[in-house]
């Protein structure tokens, strides 16, 4: 296996990732001249090295480093698939993944970029493929789905070994089917998307239905049917 990615090791060692409470994105400290951050999540941040554009380096927060081995194993089980990145290597600090061109569905909403039904169909097929490999497709949300040449590419497979259904994709799909037409082609302000995201994370799924949740969103935001 090609080991040219090791050129980035020194630069990556200068970056420190810290997790934050309440499922908020990680904080990044340190600086490396040839690295640029291309993604931030709640457990890790992803970087690209100027001299190695074919790779993406996913650095986990120190208290989340146990997920590195888990995610590498999930990628190994998934094998080669058009719906997921390739994992080339891993160590105690980061994962070495294929760099994937595209824009997240989260940014599509912000910029008013059309999300086609093909993307939804691709995610459904990807989830079926994951189950065929004996894994459990979880934690699929707007920031974990990339729009790539009109098709879906799914990022972050670290929770696929966990049991149970978090219903995040089911709710996204239902929201797409029933409400996406209200914002299709329109740029939605960041503050509004973040407000709905935080409401969703705080929503008690055991005390109300998704329909009730969406009714509350519709009443308290500028959306109109």
Mean pLDDT of 72-99: 95
Looking at residue 13, which CATH number applies to its domain?
3.30.200.20
Q: Global pTM?
A: 0.86
Q: Which residues pair with 16 in a beta bridge?
A: 29
> What pLDDT score does 52 carry?
95
Distance CA 181, CA 225 (A): 9
The answer on 46 and 30 residing in a single domain is yes
- Please determine, for residue 118, whether its predicted confidence score (pLDDT) is greater than 60: yes
Rounded mean pLDDT of the chain?
Answer: 91
Q: Assign residue 115 a region: left if phi > 0, alpha if psi is -120 to 50, beta otherwise?
A: beta
Domain ends where: 98, 125, 147?
A: 98
Give the burial class of 160: count Cβ atoms within 10 A of its Cβ; 0-12 exposed, 13-18 middle, 19 or more buried. Answer: buried
Task: Give the residue numbers spanning the domain of 158.
Answer: 103-186
pLDDT at 199: 83
Number of domains comprising the chain:
2
Both 86 and 110 in one domain: the answer is no
* In a domain? residue 162: yes
Q: For residue range 158-201, what is the model confidence (pLDDT) as tens digits?
A: 999 999 998 899 999 999 999 999 999 999 999 989 888 888 87
| 128 vs 215 pLDDT, higher one | 128
DSSP per-residue string spanning 145-207: EEEETTEEEE---TTTTS-S---HHHHHHHHHHHHGGGTTTSPPPHHHHHHHHHHHHH--TTT
Please check whether residues 121 and 45 belong to one and the same domain: no
**Residue 218 located in a structural domain:** no
173 near 152, Cβ under 8 Å?
no
Residue 195 resides in a domain: no
Q: Taking residues 52-78, what's their average pLDDT?
A: 95
């Amino acid at each position: 296996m090609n080991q040219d990615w090791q050129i980035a090791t020194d630069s990556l060692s200068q970056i420190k990732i810290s997790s934050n409470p309440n499922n908020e994105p990680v904080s990044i400290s340190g600086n490396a001249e040839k690295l640029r951050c291309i993604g931030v999540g709640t457990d890790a941040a992803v970087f690209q090295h100027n001299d190695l554009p074919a790779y993406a380096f996913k650095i986990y927060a120190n208290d989340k480093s146990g997920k590195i081995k888990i995610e590498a194993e999930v990628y190994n089980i998934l094998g080669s698939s058009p719906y997921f990145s390739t994992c080339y290597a891993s160590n105690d600090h980061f994962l070495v993944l294929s760099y994937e061109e595209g824009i997240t569905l989260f940014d599509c909403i912000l910029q008013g970029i059309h999300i086609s039904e093909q993307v939804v169909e691709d995610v459904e097929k990807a989830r079926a493929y994951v189950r065929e490999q004996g894994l459990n497709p979880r934690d699929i949300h707007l920031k974990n789905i990339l729009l790539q040449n009109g098709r879906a590419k799914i990022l972050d497979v670290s929770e696929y070994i966990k049991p149970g259904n978090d219903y995040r994709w089911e709710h996204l799909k239902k929201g797409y089917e029933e409400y996406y037409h209200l914002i299709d082609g329109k740029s939605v302000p960041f503050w509004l998307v973040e407000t709905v995201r935080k409401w969703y994370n705080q929503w008690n799924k055991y005390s109300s239905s998704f329909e009730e949740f969406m009714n509350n969103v519709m009443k308290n935001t500028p959306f109109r049917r």
